[in-house]
Amino acid sequence: MTTTATRVKTRRRRAFTRRDIVTLVLFIGVPSFLHIFWVWIPALSTIGLSFTFWNGVKISDIKWAGLANYNTIFTASPQFYDALQNNAYWLLWFTFIATPLGVLLAYQVDRAIRGHKIYESVYYIPVVLSLAVIGIIWRFMLGPAGLVQVLLGHPGIEDAIPIFGNYSINTYVILGIASWRHIGYIMLLYLAGLKSVDPSLREAAAIDGATEWQTFRKIVLPAMAPVNTIIIVITVIESLRAFDLIYIIYGTSTGWPILGMLVFVNIYGQAASMLGAAYAVILFLLSIIPIVFYLRTVFREDIK
């Protein structure tokens, strides 16, 4: 048993010539070098720097700060709690409204209702647009002289009512715009999964007199288990690292604070602290759970 194992091993090892080994090292080495130096080392540096004070100029200026940055965030930054709250709203809204809507839409479109090809394209379009473009498009809807303003009876630029700056509604406005894109994205992912569910299962359920809702819950949802996990994880990760849309609408002002924005503002704004790094680490700690969940789902078979 052991001898055959070693013999197999040596035979395999002998199959690699020196050139093959060089090729393999390059194949793995070059992409890994880039990935580790461009992604992991900066990420680990941020974690390290979050425990320091530094003005970002000379390495010798780095001073150990312990948990001081975190202390500042938790005790002296009311913005942190606002941001946490906004991230939570984002997460709740995406989980309970936008994502289920995308799933439902996919389910209905998959039943090949009339014109389903057109609807597919329509709902996908926001997914292929850059958030930079989406920001401008929604300014034409909601900003001064925008369509919504005109419909509300404020057609001029001077008498426009503030929508993005109105604290009682801007959360819904932002989440609405974000959903415009997210629903199509979820629908797209789910639709592809649905195509792989055996249609005869559903026919059988319909013949047995199951209602639409029963079929969905008892047949479709269980068959889609892996896709469900991935969609949930994507929803959570997207809600945590949301940044682009807020940046496009508010710039770097914290008109609607969110964790991703606080990282950005504090790294480029206040020189001598590493508050931004500490914010990034908090964001990272919150993302670990969904990331691990995702890796466990997609590598389930390999890990075993």
Partner 1 sequence: MSHIVQNQKYRNRQKIKDAFITAFIAIFAVVWMIPILWTFWTSLRPYSDIIQKGVFSRPDTLNLQNYADAYRLMNIWEYLSNSFIVAIPAVFLTLFFGSLIAFVVTRYSFKFNLYLLLLFTAGNLLPVQLVYAPLFKMYIWIGDLVGNRNILYDSYLGVILIHVALQVGFATFVMSSYMKTIPKEISESAMVDGASVFRHYWNVILPLLRPPLAALSVLMTTWIYNEFFWAIVLIKSDSKRPITSALGRLQGEFVTDFNLLAAGAIMAALPTLIIFFILKRQFVSGLTLGSTKG
Contact flag: residue 254 with partner 1 (CB under 8 A): no
Contact flag: residue 300 with partner 1 (CB under 8 A): yes
User: Are 102 and 277 within 8 A, CB to CB?
Assistant: no
Contact flag: residue 23 with partner 1 (CB under 8 A): yes
The DSSP secondary-structure symbol of 63 reads E
118 alpha carbon, distance to own chain's centre: 27
Q: Which stretch in 90-98, 164-172, 214-222, 224-232 sits in contact with partner 1 by CB under 8 A?
A: 224-232
Taking the C-alpha atoms of residue 238 and residue 131, their distance in angstroms, rounded to an integer, is 14
Q: Which of 67, 88, 132, 152 binds partner 1 (CB under 8 A)?
A: 132
Q: Which is nearer to partner 1, 68 or 232 (CB)?
A: 232
Q: Which stretch in 69-77, 88-96, 106-114, 214-222 sits in contact with partner 1 by CB under 8 A?
A: 106-114
Contact flag: residue 19 with partner 1 (CB under 8 A): yes
Q: Which of 240, 246, 275, 278 binds partner 1 (CB under 8 A)?
A: 240
Q: Which is nearer to partner 1, 201 or 237 (CB)?
A: 237
Q: Which stretch in 68-76, 77-85, 122-130, 161-169 sits in contact with partner 1 by CB under 8 A?
A: 122-130
- Neighbour tally for 266: CB within 10 Å: 22
* 155-214 binders of partner 1 (CB under 8 A): 155, 180, 188-189, 192-193, 196, 209, 212
Contact flag: residue 222 with partner 1 (CB under 8 A): no
Q: Which residue has the tokens 């048993």?
A: 1
Contact flag: residue 133 with partner 1 (CB under 8 A): yes
- Neighbour tally for 298: CB within 10 Å: 13
Taking the C-alpha atoms of residue 77 and residue 63, their distance in angstroms, rounded to an integer, is 22
* Backbone angle region of 83, left / alpha / beta, with phi > 0 → left and psi within -120 to 50 → alpha: alpha
CB of 56 to partner 1, least distance (A): 7
Two tokens, residue 261: 């924005």
Q: Which is nearer to partner 1, 23 or 85 (CB)?
A: 23
Q: Residue 64: what are its φ and ψ, rounded to 5°? A: -65, 135
Contact flag: residue 130 with partner 1 (CB under 8 A): yes
Taking the C-alpha atoms of residue 297 and residue 46, their distance in angstroms, rounded to an integer, is 28
Q: Which of 51, 93, 94, 123 binds partner 1 (CB under 8 A)?
A: 123
Taking the C-alpha atoms of residue 177 and residue 134, their distance in angstroms, rounded to an integer, is 8
Q: Which is nearer to partner 1, 93 or 258 (CB)?
A: 258
Helix (H) or strand (E) holding 216: none
